[in-house]
Structure 1
Amino acid sequence: MKKAGILNRQLAGALAGLGHGHEVLVCDAGMPTPEGPRVVDLAFRAGVPSFAEVLDGLLAELVVEGATAAREVRAANPAAAGLLAGRLPKLVLVPHEELKERAAGARLIVRTGEARPYANVLLRCGVFF
């Protein structure tokens, strides 16, 4: 049994299968999940687990070379916008509709219980060397 890091077996296994250039969508409870990508649904209740908790857990395990979020996050959810800007210096903002379209190409979607709008980010995996 693992003693640290992500303990959820479905999520830990999915993360182990990611490679350079693969994308992971971390999303709030309301984001539509497209057919195709593997989905690990962590949502338990509204707000649990939070977007921030899940994002921080993933960032501790992944090498991230880039990230994309919806530009609407700035006005609709300043707390999430600040979190993303602080954690992801190479963050690119696009229209929300474009983010939803790009989510179909993600290798993995991690759904949180976040109940605030636009708490979504598409992470692009890097390489550790």
Structure 2
Amino acid sequence: MLRNIDPLLSPDLLHALRAMGHGDEIVIADANFPGSSTGPDCIRADGSSASEILRAVLSVMPLDTFVPHPALTMQVVGDPDATPEAVKDFQRIINETADNPAQIQGLERFSFYERAASAYLIVQTGERRLYGNIILKKGVIG
């Protein structure tokens, strides 16, 4: 155990977050997301929700301030203007926890998968709410 480090941040996840550079992206994915087959390394966090992992990650990782949209979620298929409960929760957590809060932007489903395939890392959670997926772009610490 370490002081002031959320215990949900496993050794593997802490290592990956530290190894990421400015502009690298992390996907926090729900239980339905094809985490292992999408491409990047996949760290399992089955006992945690996406919201819990998002809060833990943002406690140590800055969001990028050099891009207009450092937080992206998957749009609802057939209703791109809908805001799922998970995404509402993500926005609240970003507003409360991120050093540079940003408005979440939506990506069409297959565009989200394509973006996730080029991410540095996927964290597969046990999140059961639909559309409980978010991509975060890592920023810098000044």
TM surpasses 0.5: yes
Indicate if the aligned counterparts of 1:25 and 1:122 stay in contact, CA closer than 8 A: yes
Give 3-state SS (helix, strand or coil) of 1:89's partner.
coil
Distance 1:74 1:81 in 2: 12
Indicate if the aligned counterparts of 1:26 and 1:120 stay in contact, CA closer than 8 A: yes
Indicate if the aligned counterparts of 2:38 and 2:113 stay in contact, CA closer than 8 A: no
Do the aligned partners of residues 98 and 11 (structure 1) sit closer, same or farther apart at CA in structure 2, a change above 3 Å counting?
same
Indicate if the aligned counterparts of 1:70 and 1:118 stay in contact, CA closer than 8 A: yes
2:97 aligns with: none
2:58 aligns with: 59
Indicate if the aligned counterparts of 2:84 and 2:130 stay in contact, CA closer than 8 A: no
Q: Does 1:121 align with 2:124?
A: no
Give 3-state SS (helix, strand or coil) of 2:59's partner.
helix
1:40 aligns with: 43
1:3: how far off? Answer: 2.8
Do the aligned partners of residues 74 and 81 (structure 1) sit closer, same or farther apart at CA in structure 2, a change above 3 Å counting?
farther
2:22 aligns with: 20
Identity of aligned residues (%): 31
Indicate if the aligned counterparts of 1:28 and 1:114 stay in contact, CA closer than 8 A: yes
Indicate if the aligned counterparts of 1:38 and 1:107 stay in contact, CA closer than 8 A: yes
1:85: how far off? Answer: 2.6
Out of 88, 109, 120, the residue aligned to residue 82 of structure 1 is 88
Q: CA RMSD in A?
A: 1.9
Superposed structure 1 runs of 4+ greater than 3 Å apart: none
TM-score by length of 1: 0.86
- In the comparison of the two structures, how many residue pairs are matched? 124
Q: Which has the higher strand share?
A: 1
TM-score by length of 2: 0.78
Distance 1:3 1:89 in 2: 27
Deviations 1:6-28, CA, capped at 9 Å, x for gaps = 44111111111011000000000
Distance 1:6 1:29 in 2: 21
- Alignment gaps of 5+ in structure 1: none
